[in-house]
Amino acid sequence: MTSNQLAQDQLYKIRHSLAHVMAQAVLEMFPTGKIAIGPPIEDGFYYDFDLPRPLTPEDLTALEKRMREILQGRHTFQRRELSAAEAKTLFAGQPYKIELIEGLEKGGVDEYGEPTDAPPVISTYKHDTFEDLCKGPHVANLGEINPAAFKLMKIAGAYWRGDEKRPQLQRIYGTAWQTAEELADYLHRLEEAEKRDHRKLGKELDLFSTEPDMLGGGLILWHPNGGLMRHLAEEFCRKEHLAQGYDLVYSPHIGKSTLWQTSGHLTFYKENMYAPLDIDGQEYYLKPMNCPFHIMIYQDKLRSYRDLPLRFAEWGTVYRYERSGVLHGLLRVRGFTQDDAHHFVQPEKMPEEIDFALNFCLRILRSFGFTDFTAYLSTRPESKAVGELADWHTAEAALEAALKRANLPYEIDPGGGAFYGPKIDLKINDALGREWQLSTIQFDFNLPERFDITYIGEDGQPHRPFMVHRALLGSMERFFGVLIEHYGGAFPVWLSPVQAVLIPIADRHVAYCDDVAKRLKAAGLRVEVDASSERMGHKIRLAQKQKIPYMLVVGDKEQAAHQVAVRLRSGEDLGPLEVSVFEKMALEAVVTKL
């Protein structure tokens, strides 16, 4: 185990242990309170409570103080295993724990009620006066936890077992680290993340909005600024797809139930689909995915090995049910547009097609300014997998070989593949070091069988092609949420809705600004003139707030010399430049995607 893995393992134990300490402090504050679950999570921990009154920020301060007092006791954690009857006696009066114990008793779930294949074991961990249903692990004793390196962060609502029909509990989130310096660094990153929150910037920059009450949750309204950015991104990607041999296709938003029955979605994915529409006595469903339509296009005529590979690409809008509680701006929505592609390839040509797909994904992502990638290779699950074992091994080997040839750092997730094929997930690290899932290259051994698709080989006989799903940016909504936060709204020049604003110092400079704007627009730049009566300083601050890349200030001197005084949104002053010089500089930034 590497030092980093050891540190992560210790952090896991620290966070898990602090969840227990927090639960102890909460029950001391509310002796009649009911406790639910309290797992460690990325960067911290949480615990869900059913309490006699709403928690307040002042409660968090008091709970933190009590938790530090408990830590000073340096209590050890003691584990024991119990029968179901013993556990029910121990947690009498704690209905959420009783429900979890009953789940453990039946098997198939863990102590958090999550599905598991592990054999059922009922165990508890006790420190000081507090004992909790838990499989561990924990620190050996509370002396291993730095009392200056944790903080309770916020209170939120959470439905028991994530079910909106069950009781709503109060969830306390905390964060924990090994040193006070690590905690301070994390809090600083949170502060930066808050400044970059895409929901906040989306409103400030007039990019998009949501109207849950009137329109419905998880549905996005793209405003002109956001719509232009999305158009620019999609047009760039479409041109790149066409240049690389993709065929653009379009498909309907709905399909008959027979289509979704054949594809298996009504068997395996129905809970994520919306209720059917009755049209002429037949059931139609909003599409949750584009793939069955692409397969039908493939099936429309006889295919030869000479036709392959075929690459069908579509910016297709799909609809998937998400619970209201998990909707989050652009990052978690119910209606979204995927930049979907499906590759149909001869099995023997599959390795080079994977190379192609992976390198194409990387090139497009780099064009948007992402350079820090980690790949995850998910392999065959031990059960419930379709397709021949030899095909799985061949596909997994091709995926891993492609990652090696691309010199990408990657991790293997054994058994983490879908039941229908292995996959590569490409994750990017943004400007704050946060990891985001974007591209996926996914084999599918299921749909070609279900739809019985074939091609005629060199031997004149029908053969089954390999099919690969490929999402590059993922959904346009989620990608733009990531993009907004990565750049903090200060987008590259080529994507900025307004690339330059001309700022006349006085009314007598407006006509010259209009002439310059006309010239720059003719060159292909997006330019505005701020002819308002506000002072120059106010105009500059407004342009900086709108994250406009270039502010072109014009006074008597600039007008007489046919120049503009160039300021950058960063505050840097480039001084007076000939209009032709600025034009060349701005166009170069567009072409190079700076």
Residue 305 burial (CB count, 10 A)? 15
Residue 196 burial (CB count, 10 A)? 20
For residue 425, the surrounding DSSP H or E stretch is strand 423-429
Backbone angles phi, psi at 53, to 5 degrees: -150, 160
Q: Which of 50, 340, 425, 530 is catalytic?
A: 340
Instruction: Quote the crossing angle between the two packed helices 476-487 and 224-243, to the nearest 10°.
Output: 110
Sheet-wide strand order for 563-568:
527-529, 500-504, 550-554, 563-568, 573-578
Helical residues (DSSP H) of 368-437, grouped into ranges: 389-405
Query: Which residues pair with residue 500 across a beta bridge?
Result: 527, 550
- Annotated active-site residue 340? The verdict is yes
Residue type, 298: Y
Q: Which of 116, 77, 82, 125 is nearest to 101 (CA)?
A: 82
- SS3 percent helix, strand, coil of the chain, rounded to 5, is 40, 25, 35
Backbone angles phi, psi at 498, to 5 degrees: -115, 125
Q: Which of 338, 442, 559, 563 is catalytic?
A: 338
Q: Which of 291, 268, 287, 272 is nearest to 419 (CA)?
A: 268
Q: Which of 423, 478, 567, 569 is catalytic?
A: 423
What are the angstrom distances between the C-alpha of 562 and each of 145, 183, 575?
A: 66, 54, 13
Q: Which of 291, 303, 332, 526 is catalytic?
A: 291
Q: Which of 13, 97, 127, 320 is catalytic?
A: 320
- Annotated active-site residue 185? The verdict is no
What are the angstrom distances between the C-alpha of 41 and each of 15, 76, 434, 438?
A: 8, 22, 15, 21
Plot region of 384 (φ>0 → left; ψ -120 to 50 → alpha; else → beta): left
Instruction: Quote the crossing angle between the two packed helices 350-367 and 224-243, to the nearest 10°.
Output: 150
**CA atoms within 13 A of residue 218's CA, in its CB half-sphere:** 16
Residue 84 burial (CB count, 10 A)? 15
Query: Which residues pair with residue 444 across a beta bridge?
Result: 467
Q: Which of 342, 478, 509, 526 is catalytic?
A: 342
- Annotated active-site residue 320? The verdict is yes
What's the rounded Cα separation, in Å, for the pair 410 and 396?
A: 13
DSSP codes, 464-508: PPEEEEEEEEEEHHHHHHHHHHHHTT---TTT-SS-EEEEESSGG
Residue 65 burial (CB count, 10 A)? 10
Q: Which of 8, 19, 127 is nearest to 79 (CA)?
A: 127
DSSP codes, 136-197: ----SBGGGS-TTSEEEEEEEEEEGGG-TTSPEEEEEEEEE-SSHHHHHHHHHHHHHHHHT-
- Annotated active-site residue 170? The verdict is no
- Annotated active-site residue 195? The verdict is no
Residue type, 49: F
What's the rounded Cα separation, in Å, for the pair 146 and 139?
A: 12
Q: Which of 171, 230, 311, 469 is catalytic?
A: 469
> Annotated active-site positions, please?
291, 320, 338, 340, 342, 423, 469
